[in-house]
């Protein structure tokens, strides 16, 4: 497609401002034209390596003048096409805007630039006895995690990004810089714009600074693994654990197919059954008490074993299966891409939807191991797919749609943590109905010319 005159003028003006930090080579553009989703690549016209908020302000003002689309890019680990610039334009890369700006230990908060990664942040916090607990698995950037309202394995205790973001600095579509709130731990001052931007996937503005809640590193951590005869028993053990008020830090589920893949990949010997992986945080005595209570609960639901470990190397060995689950599934079908589903339901419906979906997979002949953050009702079928096999790919996409529709019918959601992006826009309408019309009004208010990551979450056409 030929580049428009407006775009060429915008690139020329941006080049004058940023010099060699504005990149237009095809290899760089191609890197920024895809993420970890199955969606088709689309290249930006240029890529800016941002260093500070003022860079973003200058870039946005130029783009606004020429109606040039803008997409924010962090680690590129999104899985619903959020960073793919489907209308071209400017991609702003934040990997060099990666400073931890201010750690305030007495307030248990920290301010960071958006390119800071989760692991980088925790490395800097460790010596102060603090941690940032949200763990989506990938070493994503804090900006990307904020934009997609990420969560993960620790959300059952520490919450999602929504619960851990205090304040944001945002560059709006007209180039203004706004701070969405102060650092006070609670406020009744007007609309909650902070959490409007959390999960907005870059469609309302560009986040350039994030203030986060921190938590103390636990005095003691222990881990456990328990296998069960079936999914319902495992889920009922989870529900009972939560009803007892055990402040469990992680509670993950792998089904028999996932365990089989892990055994093959790691040469391990886990029972090929639905298996819970658990983690407990607290004092030495409280961690011991938590583990004993959960061990008793698991035995009530016919757990064949409950293996509990406290030493770090033993804990890491127990969790190796969960941490390597996706790689293990990929190894079962070399050369295939991985498609991960992402639904979340009220936990009382969890066993029902998992068993129903596993029956669909068997009927359709689809290989789809399960991994789930079952403490909050969120789970993934992890499906290796060959996109060149159009018949197989169509069958898998149909399964994903059916799974999401079932989740919505159970008062759940089509996405627990991955976001909407390109792939789930019709499902968003099914889930929230006329609420999407009000989302459009918000989008048009913040971004009347539709330059902020256009085409994501929903179409502006009703």
**What pLDDT, in 10s, does the model give residues 290-334?**
999 999 999 999 998 899 998 989 888 888 888 889 999 999 999
What gap in Å lies between CA 11 and CA 288, rounded to an integer?
Answer: 61
Reading the block at residue 129, the tokens are 């006895």
Secondary-structure percent of the chain, ordered helix, strand, coil, rounded to 5: 40, 20, 40
CATH number of 335-423: 3.30.70.2740
Say what the pLDDT of residue 437 is: 96
* Burial of residue 206, with CB atoms counted within 10 A of its CB: 0-12 exposed, 13-18 middle, 19 or more buried: buried
Q: Which residue has the higher pLDDT, 1 or 133?
A: 133
End-to-end CA gap in the chain: 27
Q: Are 238 and 224 in contact (CB under 8 A)?
A: no
Q: Are 224 and 278 in contact (CB under 8 A)?
A: yes
Q: Are 371 and 382 in contact (CB under 8 A)?
A: yes
Residues 316, 318, 134, 75, CA torsion sign: positive
Say what the pLDDT of residue 318 is: 84
Residues of 333-355 as b/e, b for ≥16 C-beta within 10 angstroms? eeebebbbbbbbbebebbbebbe
Mean pLDDT of 250-269: 95
DSSP codes joined into one string, 230-294: SHHHHHHHHHHHHHTT---SEEEEE-HHHHHHHHHHHT----SS-EEEEEEEE-HHHHHHHHHHH
Q: How far is CA 417 from each of CA 3, 162, 270, 327, rounded to the nearest angstrom? A: 35, 11, 28, 20
Residues 6+ away with beta carbon under 8 Å from 16? none
What gap in Å lies between CA 167 and CA 184, rounded to an integer?
Answer: 9
- Residue ranges per domain, the chain? 5-95, 100-216, 220-327, 335-423
Q: At what angle do helices 425-432 and 390-409 cross, to 10 degrees?
A: 20
Say what the pLDDT of residue 279 is: 95
461 pLDDT band, cuts 50/70/90, is: confident
How many helices (DSSP H) and strands (DSSP E) are in the chain?
A: 17, 19
CATH 3.40.50.1950 for domain 100-216, yes or no, is no
**Element housing 369 (H / E):** none
What gap in Å lies between CA 168 and CA 184, rounded to an integer?
Answer: 13
462 pLDDT band, cuts 50/70/90, is: low
Q: Using the predicted structure, report yes or no on whether residue 39 has a pLDDT greater than 90.
A: no
What gap in Å lies between CA 332 and CA 258, rounded to an integer?
Answer: 10
CATH of 5-95 given 3.40.1080.10, 3.20.20.100, 3.30.43.10, 3.40.630.30: 3.30.43.10
- Residue 410: name the closest of 430, 382, 383 by CA: 430
1 pLDDT band, cuts 50/70/90, is: low
2 pLDDT band, cuts 50/70/90, is: low
DSSP class of residue 375 equals G
Using DSSP, state whether 179 is helix, strand or coil. strand
Using DSSP, state whether 143 is helix, strand or coil. helix
Say what the pLDDT of residue 387 is: 85
Same fold, 220-327 and 335-423: yes
Q: Using the predicted structure, report yes or no on whether residue 379 has a pLDDT greater than 60.
A: yes
Reading the block at residue 459, the tokens are 């179409």
Say what the pLDDT of residue 137 is: 83
CATH number of 220-327: 3.30.70.2190
Computed on alpha carbons and rounded to an integer, the radius of gyration of the chain in Å comes to: 23
Mean pLDDT of 96-118: 98
What gap in Å lies between CA 299 and CA 181, rounded to an integer?
Answer: 47
Mean pLDDT of 232-237: 96
276 pLDDT band, cuts 50/70/90, is: very high
71 pLDDT band, cuts 50/70/90, is: very high
Q: Using the predicted structure, report yes or no on whether residue 162 has a pLDDT greater than 70.
A: yes
């Amino acid at each position: 497609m030929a580049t428009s005159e407006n775009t060429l003028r915008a690139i020329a003006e941006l080049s004058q401002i940023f010099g060699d930090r504005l990149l237009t080579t095809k290899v760089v553009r191609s890197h920024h034209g895809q993420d970890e989703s199955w969606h088709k690549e689309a290249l930006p016209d240029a890529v800016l390596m941002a260093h500070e908020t003022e860079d973003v302000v200058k870039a946005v003002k130029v783009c606004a003048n020429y109606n040039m689309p803008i997409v924010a890019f962090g680690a590129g680990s999104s899985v619903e096409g959020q960073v793919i610039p489907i209308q071209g334009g400017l991609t702003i890369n934040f990997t060099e805007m990666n400073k931890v700006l201010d750690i305030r230990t007495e307030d248990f908060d920290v301010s960071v630039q958006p390119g800071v990664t989760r692991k980088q942040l925790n490395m800097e916090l460790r010596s102060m006895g603090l941690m940032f607990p949200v763990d989506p698995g990938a070493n994503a950037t804090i900006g990307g995690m904020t934009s997609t309202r990420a969560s993960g394995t620790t959300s059952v205790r520490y919450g999602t990004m929504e619960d851990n973001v205090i304040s944001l600095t945002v560059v709006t579509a007209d180039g203004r810089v706004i701070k969405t709130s102060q650092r006070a731990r609670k406020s009744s001052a007007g609309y909650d714009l902070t959490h409007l931007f959390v999960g907005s996937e870059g469609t309302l503005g560009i986040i350039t600074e994030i203030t986060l809640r921190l938590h103390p590193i636990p005095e003691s951590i222990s881990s456990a693994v328990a296998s069960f005869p079936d999914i319902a028993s495992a889920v009922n053990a989870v529900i009972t654990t939560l009803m007892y008020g055990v402040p469990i830090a992680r509670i993950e589920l792998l089904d028999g197919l996932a365990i089989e893949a892990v055994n093959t990949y790691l040469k391990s010997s886990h029972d090929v059954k639905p298996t819970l992986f658990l983690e407990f945080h607290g004092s030495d005595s409280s961690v011991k008490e938590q583990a004993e209570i959960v061990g008793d609960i698991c035995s009530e639901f016919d757990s064949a074993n409950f293996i509990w470990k406290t030493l770090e190397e033993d804990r890491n060995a127990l969790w190796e299966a969960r941490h390597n689950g996706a790689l293990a599934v990929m190894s079962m079908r070399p050369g295939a891409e991985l498609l991960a589903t992402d639904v979340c339901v009220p936990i009382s419906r969890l066993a029902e939807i998992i068993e129903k979906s596993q029956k669909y997979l068997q009927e359709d002949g689809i290989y789809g191991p399960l991994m789930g953050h079952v403490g909050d009702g969120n789970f993934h079928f992890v499906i290796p797919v060959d996109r060149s096999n159009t018949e197989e790919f169509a069958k898998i996409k149909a399964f994903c749609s059916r799974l999401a529709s079932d989740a919505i019918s159970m008062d759940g959601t089509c996405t627990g943590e991955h976001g909407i992006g390109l792939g789930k826009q019709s499902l968003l309408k099914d889930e929230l109905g006329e609420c999407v019309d009000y989302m459009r009004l918000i989008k048009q208010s913040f971004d009347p010319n539709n330059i902020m990551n256009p085409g994501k979450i929903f179409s502006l056409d009703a």
